[in-house]
Amino acid sequence: MVKILGANLQAADQVALLRTLGLLLQIGLTLFAADTFGLSLQMEPLMHVFVLEVLYLSLTLALRKPLFAKERGLFIALSLDTLFWISWLYFSGGATNAFISLLLLPIALAAVTLPIWAPWSLTAISTLAYSVMIFTVPESQMQHHGMDMSSHYLGMWFNFVISALVLTTSVALIAKRMRRQDAQLAYMREGQLRQEQLVALGTVSAQMAHQLATPLSTLHLLLDELREETPEPSITLVEMETALGRCEHTLAELRLATESIRDRRQRPQNITELVVGLKQKTQLLMPQTALNWLITCEPKLLEEKQILTDMSLTPAIMALIENAARASVETIGTSQVDISVDCSPSEGQAYLQIRDYGAGIAPSLLPQLGTLLIESPKGLGVALLLSHASLERLGAELILANHPQGGTVAQIRFTLLAPKVPTGEIV
């Protein structure tokens, strides 16, 4: 986003420079080169045109950054520039002015910087004005040293129309293709950066998991000794055993997920299996969380429709549920999360939606969450980044949005597999 804004501001400065040079060229031709180029000047209306153009250009130069940040603002500025060029040409010889081809400059700028409708609009305005001027040229100006110049001026008009059409077709399409390629390159760079971050996080996670194995085994032995020394089981020991069991379970799942991802072990799974697995996980790991399940799919569809999964899918969804529960606690003091499941066989998609009752997400952060590490008081968004990567690898899509009644909604869109998918693993 910062790069795009910087590019827009740089383009605004370049367009402003060109527009300033255009005004200086008009003044120079009028005051110093009228006789050289045979301009038929009407000085009184030209002075009014120059005064208005100087005021207009000064205003747009002062407001160029907010004005040119949007396509509509740049188009309006180029349209008014075209009208000022038409006014100067009309009062300095009209169609007989040798510099009438300068009307192509705003068209060229629009073809390079704006959508294709903009240069076509400016071409229509310029061609109409040129046509009016060529048909209103006095007969006396059509004669030059006794020669009839009407066919020459008509040829100039025809050449102008051809040049404008070239700009609005070839140049505009080339510029559009270049913008598309730039967008693709930017997307690829962002994807490469995200992959580098994921590789770094995966390396660190593997190292940490390896280092945690020994301390967990030691704690397990110490807990067994404490249990033997304590005649009656205490609540503290039970809580310690539960926490230690959760750590060992998570570490074992991490190892299985790592092996599954490394070996590319993916398999089809029906939606019922996924929902049952999530319910069991949340009851085991998040017993204090109030989960409100809403399943609108027909039971038959839940059994028949399948999605592509691997060992990383459930942890990715669990991370989203844990984030939602934490956000609800911070705002309303209760760990409350709504989870809904819906199917759309006609669209070939299934939807899993997780809604919390937190404070929501700042709109400026929504496009970046899940794709980049975002520094905030609550962390760097690592869980969202990993969940997004896991879902993307399985052909699913994670969409984050703020709920109209408060809180955040994380929607996962799964692509339903085609019927008669084998039940074995896909390597």
pLDDT digits (tens, 9 = 90+) for 152-167: 778 888 888 898 888 8
Percent of the chain scoring above 90 in pLDDT:
7
pLDDT for the residue numbered 199: 60
Q: Can you say how many angstroms the Cα of residue 340 is from the centroid of all Cα atoms in its chain?
A: 27
What mean pLDDT do residues 250-254 have? 72
Residues 24 and 157 in one domain: yes
Domain assignment present for 423: no
For 39-55, how does the pLDDT look when each residue is reduced to its tens digit (9 = 90+)? 888 899 999 999 998 89
For residue 83, the model assigns a pLDDT of 92
35: in domain: yes
352/208: higher pLDDT: 352
Residue 109 covered by a domain = yes
Predicted local confidence at residue 353, as pLDDT: 92
Pair 277, 222 in one domain: no
Q: Is residue 426 one of the residues assigned to a domain?
A: no
Arithmetic mean of pLDDT, 174-185: 79
Predicted confidence band of residue 4 (pLDDT cuts 50, 70, 90): very low
Q: Average of pLDDT values for 280-299? A: 85
Mean pLDDT, rounded, for 294-309: 84
Is 68 a member of any domain? yes
Are 239 and 286 in a shared domain?
A: no
Mean pLDDT, range 9-32, rounded to an integer: 79
Q: Is residue 421 part of a domain?
A: no
Comparison of pLDDT for 30 and 137, the residue scoring more:
30
**Does 185 lie in the same domain as 301?**
no
| Domain-ending residue, one of 262, 285, 310 | 262
Same domain, 118 and 26: yes
Same domain, 160 and 13: yes
Same domain, 338 and 369: yes
For residues 210 and 304, state if they share a domain: no
DSSP β-bridge partners for residue 270:
306
Residue 427 inside a domain? The answer is: no
214 φ/ψ angles, rounded to the nearest 5 degrees: -65, -50
Residue 425 lies in a domain: no
- Which pLDDT score is estimated for 421? 45
Are residues 206 and 103 located together in one domain of the fold? no
Task: Give pLDDT tens digits for 97-153.
Answer: 888 888 988 888 888 888 888 889 999 999 999 888 888 776 665 555 445 567 777
Most confident residue range from 97-101, 173-177, 252-256: 97-101
Quick one: pLDDT band at residue 263, thresholds 50, 70, 90?
A: low
pLDDT at residue 195 in the model: 62
Strand partners for 414: 350
Q: Looking at the structure, do residues 20 and 126 belong to the same domain, yes or no?
A: yes
CATH number at residue 343: 3.30.565.10
Q: Where does residue 105 rank: exposed (0-12), middle (13-18), buried (19+ CB within 10 A)?
A: buried
Is residue 156 domain-shared with residue 277, that is, in the same domain? no
Task: Tell me what pLDDT residue 420 has.
Answer: 57
Domain final residue pick, 190, 220, 251: 190
Residues 308 and 396 in one domain: yes
| Mean of the per-residue pLDDT values of the chain | 78
Point out the domain boundary residue: 170, 190, 210.
190
Domain range for 226 is 200-262
Task: Count up the domains in the chain and report the number.
Answer: 3
